[in-house]
Structure 1
Amino acid sequence: MRPAATPPPASAAASAPGRTRLFDRTIIGGRRFLVGLSASRALSAGAGTWLTALLFAATGIYGLERGGHMPAAIETMRDVGDAGANIAGFRIANVNLSGQNHVTPGDILATAGVKPTSSLLFLDAEGARMRLEELAWIKRATVQKLYPDRLDIQVVEREGFALWQKDGKINVIARDGTIIAPYSDDPRYIRLPIVVGDGAEKNVVEIVEALSLVPGVRDKVRAAIRVADRRWTLKMRNGIDVRLPEHGLIDSLQQLAVLDQEKSLLTRDITIVDLRLTDRVSVRLSDAAYAARQEDDKVKAKAKKGGNT
């Protein structure tokens, strides 16, 4: 009998399949690596394309900015967006305005950025509100979009509170001192009180409200002049200057009213009434009144001298 074949060593039998599997894994792993590398290259190529596009876009934006064409470009883009939105049914067909008196509807729409081609979809309501409130006459504005095609704009206008004269120019100002408009012969402005000088517009409420409590004086005042941004001097209609103190404004005006009622102070031949001191009232005679008084004193002196001889 032939001797039985000796089986190969266990280590050898196991080593061959092990190498095959290891080789297979290596191949698979290599394929996966190659696939990953290809994807990485594709991503790199895509990123390069995007970076190039961004570079061109940035260059274009820079050129528009440097050339001063950016506003026109933005306006063009907005028009394109509005055209698409209008086709979709968002054209602004109805605009309801309320509260305007001095500002015209045309000025309101232009300031809000509403054009015949504007769409409700792309209208910046908050931006429109802020631009409207930058107008001198408009104190507060509300802009509301009601889809699909209605726009509501409500404004609260400032009211003329006084006339402010400075550097030879007269402007209508609001209660808070905001310049509303240049003065004109509009009947609404004729009876407004007049304040003059630096700081007068910021303190206009103080003097106007104080005078409103003393109508007997107020009706004789031509203008209130702000002095060194600390106190007021009243220029009366007959030319008399009334110098008011820095503090106790209302008390001084009431004192002036009493003196005028009891002694006709504001109709005398004087040029200045000084109320700045709390314990006395000083007046300055006009030149004619002073000369007449001097002459009268001389006559009295001569009469007295003649009587003593």
Structure 2
Amino acid sequence: MDGAGRLDRSARSLGPRADLKAAAIDAVALLRERLWRRRPHTRPTLDREPPDRLIALVERYLPARAGVAATVLFLLGSAGFGIVRGGHVEELSTAASDTRNAIANSAGFRIASVAINGRKQLSQDEVLAIGGVNGRSSLLFLDAANVRDRLQANPWIADATVLKFYPGQLQIDIVERSAFALWQQDGRISVISDDGAVLEPYLSHRFMSLPLVVGKGAQTHAKEFLALLAGYPQVKSVTKAAIFVGERRWNLRLKDGLDIRLPENEVGNALAELSRLDKDDKLFSRDIVAVDMRLPDRLTVQLSDDAAKAREELFKDKKPKKKAGEA
């Protein structure tokens, strides 16, 4: 310390650099000593540097602030390791993004107006939340492609277009899927679109009037079959559910519990025959539990237990009685 109470130059220069140089010099000296121990009989040559010379070279070529740089790198590495190990990467990324957006907003790139076209089921707030747009977002740093990808990942949205109009207008055009039917699989009921996409679990009563399809694969075949069924309103009006059997053919469960087993092929002809039988013979009003139409050349009707018992009693009464003396 000099007379003014300040550290002199030689004292101030001591620090990380001096520590690093000292460690390097010690390492060179130790290496030199070990090499000489292993080769005690080797005679020095003119091109071999003496220890003092090697130490001078280390001091000469060591960067001026290598110690400071090494310390900074060590601290940064430790901080990064702590962030990753502690699970704070997402928080740090969010904070950095918010800071960047705040700067852009203060510079005049705040999203002042949003126009959303094509929505029917989803609200404006739902569309923005799905796209990841919030009150902190700035138009300057908004990634339109990322917003579009997030929107299209939602099952309700079939397609989306995102446009930015500087300095502060955002336009989102979406094509929504429509709720087409209810699909039951493994005891769970979901709302599906006409292309079979699952839109959401069935929780809202606003979807109660949708047709019900049941079974594996029914969601992807429902559009074609329900369009065919719509051509026979007399059958459709009494149908409670359409059941896809073995991923190859359909059964109908009527509202009164009657099962109609349709064939795998020529389904339209079978539905037309059902309409005719109900119109002419009141088929759906009879005391039966099942109608089997799987065989093309015949129709099999299964009576209820009560109807079968009554039919059996009827035939017993009609059976001719034996006369006296007849064997």
TM above 0.5, yes or no, is yes
Q: What residue is the counterpart of 1:298 in the other structure?
A: 316
Query: Which of 228, 236, 239 pairs up with 1:218?
Result: 236
**Which has more radius of gyration?**
1
Q: What residue is the counterpart of 2:95 in the other structure?
A: 76
Asked if 1:167 is matched to 2:186, the reply is yes
Q: What residue is the counterpart of 1:241 in the other structure?
A: 259
Residue type at the aligned position of 2:279: Q
Per the alignment, do residues 135 and 206 of structure 1 end up closer, same or farther by CA in structure 2, a change over 3 Å counting? same
Query: Which of 93, 101, 112 pairs up with 2:131?
Result: 112
Cα distance per residue 1:170-213 (max 9 Å; x no partner) = 221111222223334544x2321111122222221132112112
Residue type at the aligned position of 2:155: A
Per the alignment, do residues 121 and 46 of structure 1 end up closer, same or farther by CA in structure 2, a change over 3 Å counting? farther
Q: What residue is the counterpart of 2:221 in the other structure?
A: 203
Residue type at the aligned position of 1:196: V
Residue type at the aligned position of 1:238: D
User: Structure 2, unaligned stretches of length 5 or more?
Assistant: 1-60
Q: SS at 1:201's partner residue?
A: helix
Q: SS at 2:320's partner residue?
A: helix
Between the aligned partners of 1:61 and 1:246, the Cα distance in structure 2 is 64
Cα distance per residue 1:242-277 (max 9 Å; x no partner) = 011222222222222222223322222111111111
Between the aligned partners of 2:72 and 2:83, the Cα distance in structure 1 is 16
- Give the alignment of 1:1-309 within 5 angstroms: 60-184=79-203, 186-187=205-206, 189-302=207-320, 305=322
Q: SS at 1:170's partner residue?
A: strand
Between the aligned partners of 2:220 and 2:186, the Cα distance in structure 1 is 16
Q: SS at 2:109's partner residue?
A: coil
When the two chains are superposed, the root-mean-square deviation of aligned CA atoms in Å is: 2.9
Q: Is the 8 A contact 1:138 1:157 kept in 2?
A: yes
| TM-score, normalised relative to structure 1 | 0.77
Between the aligned partners of 2:317 and 2:324, the Cα distance in structure 1 is 12
Cα distance per residue 1:115-174 (max 9 Å; x no partner) = 222110111111111112222322222211111111111222211111112333322111
Between the aligned partners of 1:266 and 1:307, the Cα distance in structure 2 is 45
Q: Is the 8 A contact 1:94 1:149 kept in 2?
A: yes
Q: What residue is the counterpart of 1:27 in the other structure?
A: none
% of aligned pairs identical?
Answer: 43
Between the aligned partners of 1:284 and 1:300, the Cα distance in structure 2 is 22
Between the aligned partners of 2:324 and 2:144, the Cα distance in structure 1 is 93
Per the alignment, do residues 135 and 233 of structure 1 end up closer, same or farther by CA in structure 2, a change over 3 Å counting? same
Residue type at the aligned position of 1:291: K
